[in-house]
Amino acid sequence: MNTALDVAVWRGAEQGRFVSYVVPLRENQTVLDIVTYIQRHLDSTLSYRFSCRVGMCGSCAMTVNGVPRWTCRTHVRRVATNSRLEIAPLRNMKVVKDLSVDMTGFFDKWARAGGAFAPQKTHSKDFAVVQPDSRARRQADAGIECIGCGVCYAACDLVSWNADYLGPAALNRAWTLVNDVRDGARAQRLAAVAGDAGCHACHSHQSCVQWCPMELNPTSAIAGLKRATVGAALKGAL
C-alpha cells in the first residue's frame, strides 16, 4: 500500500504552473488536510481559503482532479487516482493567488439576481404564517441550504461561455425568494432574472446538480424561474 501521495498544486495567479509535492497518506484524510499539510510543512507561501472545516461555510472549494469540490468534506481515498491528486483553483473566477479565487463577481451576481429579501411588513405587524407543507414553502426549502461555495458556478459551462450569466447559485437563491410569501419584490426579481443573462440562458446541462456538495438542484430552480417569468410576461407583469 502506498504511504505517500503525489500532489500537483496550482501555483501563481491566472498565469502559473502546477508544482508537485509529496504528502504522507493518512486514514480519513481530506483534500483540505492535504493542502493544509503542504502549507504547514512544505511551503508556507501557499495561499488557500478555508474556515469551518465541516461543510458549512462554503470557503474551501477547489478543483480536485478536474472536478469542483468542497475540499473539507472530500476524502482523499474517494478522489485520488493512482495515489495522485491535482488541486487547482475554481474555474470561472479570477485567480488571486494559488488556490484562492476572487469571488466578487460570483456574489455580485447574487445581488443582481435580487438575492436580498425584501420585507413587506414592519415591526408593528404580526408575524407571517407560512404553512410548512405549502407548495411554495416546499419549493423554497429545496434550495435554501446553499452554502455559497461556488462549486456550481465553477461547474457551469454557461458561465464560461457567457460572462454575464448570473449562474446557478444566484438563480437558485432568487427562486427561493420567489417562493417566499413574505417577500415584496417578486416582479422586480423576475425581471432581474429573465433573459439571455438570466434563467433563459440555462441549457439544463445539470453540471450544477452533479457537483453541488449540498445535493441541491439549481437546474430545477432555474426551470421554475423560466415558468414564473413566462407567466409574468404573458400577464404583462414583467
* 137 three-class SS: helix
Among 24, 111, 161, 204, binds other proteins (CB under 8 A): 161
Instruction: Report how far residue 89's alpha carbon sits from residue 80's, in angstroms, rounded to the nearest whole number.
Output: 17
Stretch that binds other proteins, among 58-66, 118-126, 174-182, 187-195 (CB under 8 A): 187-195
Does residue 19 belong to the site contacting other proteins (CB under 8 A)? no
Establish if 189 lies at the interface with other proteins (CB under 8 A).
no
State the cell numbers at 63: 478543483
Q: Which of 107, 200, 206, 217 binds other proteins (CB under 8 A)?
A: 200
CB of 161 to other proteins, least distance (A): 4
223 binds other proteins (CB under 8 A): no
Rounded to a whole number of angstroms, the minimum distance from the CB of residue 180 to other proteins is 20
Grouping H, G, I as helix, E, B as strand and the rest as coil, residue 131 is coil
CA-based nearest residue to 199, from 183, 176, 221: 221
Q: Pick the binder of other proteins from 52, 56, 130, 233 (CB under 8 A).
A: 233
Residue 194 touches other proteins, criterion: CB under 8 A: yes
Query: Which candidate, 156, 32, 144, places its Cα nearest to that of 99?
Result: 32
Helices (H), the chain: 31-37, 76-79, 104-112, 135-143, 151-155, 157-161, 168-178, 186-193, 207-211, 218-234
Q: Which of residues 129-148 bind other proteins (CB under 8 A)?
A: none
Using an 8 Å Cβ cutoff, are 55 and 147 in contact?
yes
Under the binding rule (CB under 8 A), the answer on residue 111 touching other proteins is no
List interacting residues with other proteins (CB under 8 A): 158, 161-162, 190-192, 194-196, 198, 200-201, 226, 229-230, 232-234, 236, 238
